[in-house]
Amino acid sequence: MTDILILGGYGNFGKRIAAGLARRGVGVTIAGRDRDKAESLAQSLRAAHPDARIDAVRLDAPRELPAYLAERRPKVVVDTCGPFQGRDYDIAHVCIAAGVHAIDLADGRDYVVGIAALDDAAKAAGVAVVSGASTAPGLSSAVLEAFRGEFSAIDEMRYGISPGQKAERGLATTRAVLGYAGKPLKPVYGDAGPRYGWQDVYRQTYPELGARWMANCEIPDLDLFPKRYGLKRVYFSAGMELAIVHFGIVAMGWLVRLGAPLDLPSHASTLLALSNWLDPLGTDAGGMHVELTGAGPNGEPHKRTWFIVAKNGDGPQIPCVPAILLAERLARGAGPRPGAWPCVGLVTLDDYVDALKPFAVATHTTTA
């Protein structure tokens, strides 16, 4: 028996989480519907990390998950099987019933916020259920926690992510982005008017990368942060490195907004293939920016801007860190405590950056 079962374990994020845990000597089982893909990854990880136990299993979750958990009793299940928009909590319910900790990489706004509905059941079962163990809200909240002491009040948070064109992209993420392009986003506290997915385009400059186009995106932070941190305004955006890809999504979003009968997520596979065809025109470098604006300790205007930049195609390592750190801690009995909640404030920025030391990742910060 291994300590951690990774659903979608050979996928874009699952394989990186498996490798990260193996580097730490934590035993993992790579699970998915394709036994050959799971075993192929397991073999490569065994060769690279002979001290870690690496297993592979063909598993159709959630249908076959209850029987597997009853028989094998892993300590933690990590669910990477997106997209999470519109999904129910079937995996989490199965884990709670089996007394197994659960972590997911969800980015669906309603999904991550709604995980708190399972809090009583998780506490009664003595397990932790953590949703959104990814860049947002895992890393974004870590940045807020790290710098909130500089402010007597944070009025505004503007932040976003821009992956490199050559960075590996998953189909689930593509479907999620296309799912809200051009559609009205749920209202956010402090909004002056409606916002639409992949609109309000602007240009953001990054250290080492230069300028990238950005546009509105939907994430759980928009509901979580105003309540947790007293923010008056929150703006999140994302952008593609290549203008042709970025504005292609913008254009499709406008068609949706104008009423065209387009089901963009159904074309995700084709659009992802077309995007990949353009990879030679881009780079493997991406970044994230966070700009906090408010009042300093004595009421004076204060602004802190933080960047993280990834090169050599290492950008997809960043969203995997919270799941790696939390899964290891739970497997070793080091918390977090039982309950169900979004991944807000559960990983410190120092621990986050330390976990990324094996990769071509650097941080930058400025203050004003």
- Domain boundaries along the sequence of the chain: 4-135+316-350, 136-314+358-367
Give whole-number Cα distances, 296 to 14, 151, 159, 304, 322, in Å.
Answer: 41, 4, 20, 10, 29
pTM of the predicted model as reported, rounded to 2 decimal places: 0.94
Q: pLDDT value at position 176?
A: 85
Would you give the end-to-end CA distance of the chain in angstroms?
52
Q: b/e for 131-141, b at 16 or more Cβ within 10 A?
A: bbbbbbbbbbb
pLDDT digits (tens, 9 = 90+) for 294-347: 999 999 999 999 999 999 999 999 999 999 999 999 999 998 999 999 999 999
Please give the structure tokens belonging to residue 204. 């953001």
Please state, as a whole number, how many other Cβ atoms lie within 10 Å of the Cβ of residue 34.
Answer: 11
Question: In angstroms, how far is CA 130 from the centroid of its own chain?
Answer: 12
CATH of 4-135+316-350, one of 3.10.20.30, 3.40.50.720, 3.10.180.10, 3.30.470.10: 3.40.50.720
DSSP letters for 323-341: HHHHHHHHHTT--PPSEEE
| pLDDT of the residue at 1 | 59
User: pLDDT tens digits for 98-122?
Assistant: 999 999 999 889 999 999 999 999 9
User: Quick one: average pLDDT of 262-284?
Assistant: 94
Sign of CA dihedral 249, 178, 277, 315: positive
Cβ–Cβ < 8 Å for 239, 216:
no
Does CATH place domain 136-314+358-367 in 3.30.360.10? yes
> 191 vs 68, 159, 363, CA distance in Å?
46, 16, 30
| Averaged pLDDT, 66-74 | 95
Average pLDDT, the chain: 95
Q: What is the pLDDT of residue 367?
A: 86
Each residue's pLDDT tens digit, 158-205: 999 999 999 888 788 888 889 889 999 988 877 778 899 999 999 999
Whether the pLDDT of residue 2 is over 80: the answer is: no
Instruction: Pick the range with the lowest mean pLDDT from 23-27, 82-86, 93-97, 141-145.
Output: 82-86
Whole-number Å distance between alpha carbons of 166 and 280? 8
For 211-228, write each residue's pLDDT tens digit: 999 999 999 999 999 999
pLDDT at 187: 86
Instruction: Annotate 60-79 with three-state secondary structure.
Output: CCCCCHHHHHHHHCCCEEEE
CA–CA distance, 93 with 30 (Å, rounded to integer)? 21
